[in-house]
Amino acid sequence: TRHHTMKIAILGSGYVGIVTGIGFAELGHEIVFIDVDERKVEMLNSSKPPIYERGLEELMKKNRGKYRATTDYREALESSELTFICVGTPSKGDGSIDLKYAESASKEIGKALKNNDNFHVVVVKSTVVPGTTEDKIKPIIEKESGKKAFEDFGLAMNPEFLREGNAVYDFFNPDRIVIGVKDERTKSVLEELYKPFDCPKLITEIKTAEMIKYASNAFLATKISFANEIGNICKKLRIDVYKVFEGVGLDHRINPSFFRAGIGFGGSCFPKDVRALIRKSEELGENPKILKAVMEVNERQPLKMIELLKKHIPNLRGKKIGVLGLAFKPDTDDVRESRAIPIVKALLEEGAEIIAYDPKAIENFRKFFPQVEYANSAEDVITKSDAVLIVTEWKEFEELDYSGKIVIDGRRVEKAMKEAKIYKGVCW
Ligand code: UGA
């Protein structure tokens, strides 16, 4: 049986917004993307993905005609039944969450709802600290529209758990769907929308849904910092930390994922979300010691790579250091909070010359470090450098010939190298 086609507006065309919108288009819904960035709007309208994400371009081409994009909030919102707020929630200088985009989105939604007599459902998908939807977003929409939440319009919080690089796959294969709602009408709209997904669906209070997102990301970040701490001890004892966590992860209460030790976590989510949760909890008079330690370990970890390099080359001044991988993880062009940033910074401070390569992220990285030399290939980096640092575990880095080089491997791609006995130093 065919489900009811919904008219869905996506406010904010970043990773989450685009993947969510195109995913729902594939499921048969009619999508309108709203963004202030004209370049993104134009790209979406010509079926070109404004971001690199595996499988996205094909899905956009396939569903051409089921979505459009515009900068006109009013028209787009008035012609839809449901709006997903997918705007960014960056960090402020002190680590707390910056809600300026969420607030201006709420204002626009409120204005558009003013003369709209249909029951419009507003769904917050952006990661927002617990309490935000009801204490910040709701009053803005109510004030601008003159309407009452949960009666005249629906309001819900539905966190997103997709991983960059696997976002399209994750959209169609979620582990769970969390829906924070209050009113029955909104609940049934969202249950209907998510009917095609075969996974546990958890209906919660709105602020609980907000917290589930933070607790999930904070726990995954904790697993990584924990693995790094154990890894640092293992290194001193000459124990293979990867074997250790293979053993640990076999306990079904623990699970093997997110125990890869190395130079730590980056990306647009973990560092920002852990910081925001720390700030929120301090605001409430708490002292979140575990969360603070998770960030401390993560900040120290990339510098360990430089320490190890200096064991081989004590004075880096004038030395040419190759950096392989600039993206915060493989299969993305995203460099936000990439561990390559503190590493390149530290190398520059030591007076090293840098030659860097990444299959997708050079253009994004260049904006932060125009002074760095960028190579056309990984091979080029290896040939031209005195030592190579592997910062992101792109698959192609596993198959290179590193013979005779000093290689510091921050991400355990060294399997091939180990077999060929061609690496000199390995980090983790
Ligand atoms: C993360 C979560 O995994 C998603 O579930 C969540 O939806 C998303 O944040 C978000 O909040 O939007 P993402 O940032 O795309 O997804 O990337 P991850 O695959 O989680 O990796 C994050 C960082 O941790 C990367 O820098 C990666 O290299 C590092 N990492 C990951 C490790 O150092 N070790 C591991 O074992 C796993």
pLDDT digits (tens, 9 = 90+) for 337-353: 999 999 999 999 999 99
Q: Does 425 reside within a domain?
A: no
- Report the distance separating Cα 4 and Cα 230, nearest Å: 51
Q: Which of 16, 54, 326, 329 to mutate to test the pocket of ligand 1 (most atoms within 8 A of CB)?
A: 329
Q: In this predicted structure, what is the pLDDT of residue 401?
A: 86
Q: Same domain, yes or no, for 148 and 235?
A: no
Whole-number Å distance between alpha carbons of 61 and 14: 18
Among 415, 369, 401, 83, which Cα is nearest to 242's? 415
Is 54 part of any domain? yes
List beta partners, residue 64.
none
Number of separate domains in the chain: 2
**CA–CA–CA angle 363, 368, 370 (5° rounding):** 70
Element (H, E) at 178: strand 177-180
Instruction: Determine if ligand 1 sits within 6 Å of the CB of residue 270.
Output: yes
Tell me the CATH number at 226: 3.40.50.720
152, 177, 204 — which closes off a domain? 204
Do 253 and 191 share a domain, yes or no?
no
The per-residue DSSP string of 119-131 comes to -EEEEE-S---TT
Q: Which of 86, 234, 269, 427 is catalytic?
A: 269
89 carries a ligand binding annotation: yes
Q: Is residue 209 part of a domain?
A: no
Q: In the prediction, which pLDDT does 399 show?
A: 85
Lay out the sheet containing 373-374: strands in order across. Answer: 373-374, 353-357, 320-324, 387-390, 406-409
Q: Which of 304, 296, 291, 293 is nearest to 234 (CA)?
A: 304
What's the pLDDT band for 428 if we cut at 50, 70, 90? Answer: low
Whether residue 133 is contained in a domain is answered as yes
Q: Is the pLDDT score of 1 beyond 50?
A: no
What per-residue confidence (pLDDT) applies to 417?
60
Based on the domain organization, do 291 and 339 belong to the same domain?
A: yes
Question: What's the DSSP call for residue 176?
Answer: -
Tell me, yes or no, if the pTM score tops 0.90: yes
Residue carrying structure tokens 């840098």: 354
Check if 161 has its Cβ closer than 6 Å to any atom of ligand 1: yes
Query: Residue written as tokens 């709802």?
Result: 113
Domain range for 187: 7-204
Under a CB-based contact definition with an 8 Å cutoff, are residues 20 and 51 in contact?
Answer: no
Residue 355 lies in a domain: yes
Taking CA atoms only, the protein residue closest to ligand 1 atom 29 is 265
Which residues have a Cβ under 8 Å from the Cβ of 400 and sit 6 or more positions away?
A: 378, 379, 382
Query: Is 267 in the same domain as 366?
Result: yes
Q: Let me know whether 303 and 388 are in one domain.
A: yes
**pLDDT digits over 259-306, tens only?**
999 999 999 999 999 999 999 999 999 999 999 999 999 999 999 999
Q: Is residue 425 over pLDDT 60?
A: no
User: What is the token pair recorded at 212?
Assistant: 């589930």
408-422 pLDDT, tens digit each = 999 888 765 665 555
Kindly give the distance from the C-alpha atom of residue 181 to the centroid of ligand 1, in angstroms, as a whole number.
27
Taken in order 193, 198, 203, 204, is the CA torsion positive or negative? negative
What token pair was written down for 131?
Answer: 């309490």
d(CA 83, CA 102): 13
pLDDT (tens digit, 9 = 90+) per residue, 115-166? Answer: 888 999 999 999 999 999 999 999 999 999 999 999 999 999 999 999 988 9
2 lies in a domain? no
The CA-based dihedral angle spanning residues 184, 189, 193, 194, taken in that order and rounded to the nearest 10 degrees: 0
Joined together, the tokens standing for residue 90 give: 């960056």
Long-range contacts of 231-240 (CB under 8 A, 24+ apart): 231/261, 231/262, 231/428, 232/304, 234/261, 235/428
Token readout for 367 is 């904006």
Cα 278 to ligand 1 centroid, rounded to whole Å: 18
Residue 91 lies in a domain: yes
Rounded distance between C-alpha atoms, residue 105 and residue 175, angstroms: 29
Domain boundary among 166, 182, 204: 204
Residue range 303-340, pLDDT digits in tens: 999 999 999 999 999 999 999 999 999 988 899 999 99
Q: Is 427 a catalytic residue?
A: no
Partners of 7 in the β-ladder: 30
Name the more confident of 425 and 366.
366
Same domain, 226 and 184: no
Work out the percent of the chain whose per-residue pLDDT is above 90: 88
Count of alpha carbons within 13 Å of 73, Cβ hemisphere only?
17
Phi and psi (nearest 5°) for 146?
A: 70, 20
pLDDT recorded at residue 348: 97
Question: Hey, what's the torsion of the CAs at 202, 168, 31, 10, to 10 degrees?
Answer: 70
Q: What's residue 116's pLDDT?
A: 84
Same domain, 24 and 170: yes
Distance CA 79, CA 399 (A): 51
Is the pLDDT at 59 greater than 60? The verdict is yes
Q: What is the Å distance from ligand 1's center to 312 Cα? A: 31
DSSP 8-state assignment for residue 47: T
DSSP element (H, E) containing 245: helix 241-249
326 by Cβ neighbours in 10 Å (0-12 / 13-18 / 19+) ranks as buried
